[in-house]
Amino acid sequence: MPQSRGRFHSAQWILRVARRLRDYRDTILGWLREVLFPLRIRHVAGPRRLQANSSHVVVVCLVRDGRAYIEEFLRHYREIGVKHVVFLDNGSSDGTVETASRLGATVLRTQAPYKHYKVITKRYLIRRFGRRNWVLCVDIDELFDYPLRHKIPLNRLIAYLEAKGFTAMAAQMLDLFPADSLSKPTEEPWRTEHRYYDCGPVEHMDYTEYFSGKNVSSNPNVKALVGGVRQARFGVRALLTKHPLVYPPSGIKYINSHLVEGAVVADVTGVLLHYKYVGDFLTYFRRIVQEESFWKGSSAQVDYLRAIEADETFSLFGASARELRMIGQLVDEGFLYMSQEFVHYAGVPIQTLPEQA
């Protein structure tokens, strides 16, 4: 028995050492990938250097085969006041690069495999294009917006954030979908069809506790949201909270698309209008499932595919679906939050918020 116990403890010790060596190897490999990554970037089109200061916002986006989104993406961000948009293409073959170049965006290209470089690529974009200004890091299917934009244009939003000492603004992801089956091809313009949402079962969790105190939350009413329509229809418990708008000169550390560290988070939340089901999205899902390039080996995408492919009439449009007419309705429903100070800054009387937000 003592000998068996000794062999067991020896085996445990060997496993612990093996795990530590593997972790050490992965840390060194990750560091080398990040240091050498700029050598894998090629400039394709648009300005190499952007004229931006602390009052400006530069949109950065890692994209692959996003041609269906490009025109609406650029139209939206230019409409809200963004002057510079940078795409880092990751191996598109559908005309994404040509379309973005023709429409005046800055376009870079890399062949680095997404599975190993998805965080490194975004961190590179934020660092390179956020030396003196704010950066809005979004996916190609995400359109950022915020409450009272008609009263507070983007430059005034930035002025508010800076005056209050905030260095990041959280945003909640909201899936937009059509009234028809998801398998039905989307006609142009797709944003007109994909105008319905369903918050589904959303958990409002304490921000500081959920993110383990990595950032300073300026208001306890800013929450981390989990769940939504994907949990209701696909059984996927998704984290809806991201930190897309950041001020890199403050020393913020980008961890992943949902998490940053060292931020002072604003007392107003934005929304990422998430158009996940546009174009040939099923082919996209199949590819990332095959590549296992998303979180937990693309397990969520496996669930999406299983549900949609099992029923060609599958739809997210249910009894509780609503049409998104204005961002203010998301405030009324408790999905977004804005403080009274933000409302006062906008010059909007509190009692008029349901109609004016």
CA 238 to CA 259: how far, in whole Å?
14
Query: What per-residue confidence (pLDDT) applies to 302?
Result: 80
Nearest to 102 by CA among 187, 44, 42, 188: 44
The predicted model gives 21-32 an average pLDDT of 79
Query: Domain map of the chain by residue range?
Result: 9-37, 41-140, 141-357
Q: Which residues pair with residue 271 across a beta bridge?
A: 145, 172
pLDDT digits (tens, 9 = 90+) for 176-218: 999 999 888 776 689 999 999 998 899 999 999 999 999 999 9
Q: What is the pTM of this model?
A: 0.89
> By C-alpha distance, which of 52, 66, 296, 288 is closest to 190?
66
Per-residue pLDDT, 350: 56
> Between 354 and 66, whose confidence is greater?
66
Cβ(138)–Cβ(88) below 8 Å = no
Give the span between the Cα atoms of 244 and 111, in whole angstroms. 24
Please report which helix (H) or strand (E) contains residue 107, including its range: strand 106-109
Tell me what pLDDT residue 282 has: 81
Check residue 2 and give its pLDDT. Answer: 56
Q: Is the pLDDT reported for residue 310 higher than 90? A: no
- Give φ, ψ of 213 to 5 degrees: 70, 20
CB-based contact 297:198 (threshold 8 Å):
no
Backbone angles phi, psi at 215, to 5 degrees: -130, 170
List, in sequence order, every residue forming a beta bridge with 216; answer none if it has no partner. 264
Architecture (CATH level 2) of domain 41-140: 3-Layer(aba) Sandwich (3.40)
277: which DSSP letter?
Answer: T
The yes-or-no verdict on residue 67 having pLDDT over 80 is yes
Of 109 and 307, more confident: 109
Which two structure tokens, joined as six digits, stand for 316? 């997210």
Q: Please give the pLDDT value at position 354.
A: 41
Which tens digit of pLDDT belongs to each residue from 122-181? Answer: 999 999 999 999 999 999 999 999 999 999 999 999 999 999 999 999 999 999 999 999
| Confidence tier at 79 by pLDDT (50, 70, 90) | very high
pLDDT for the residue 355: 38
Of 168, 153, 167, 169, nearest in space to 83 by CA: 153
CB 217 within 8 A of CB 194: no
Query: Mean pLDDT over residues 330-344, rounded?
Result: 96
Say if residue 3's pLDDT is above 70. no
Which of 143-157, 219-233, 270-284 bottoms out in mean pLDDT, i.e. has the lowest?
270-284
Phi, psi of 54 (to 5 degrees): -65, -15
Which H or E element spans position 143?
A: strand 142-145
> In the numeric block, which tokens belong to residue 179?
């009234």
In this predicted model, which residue has the larger pLDDT, 188 or 15?
15
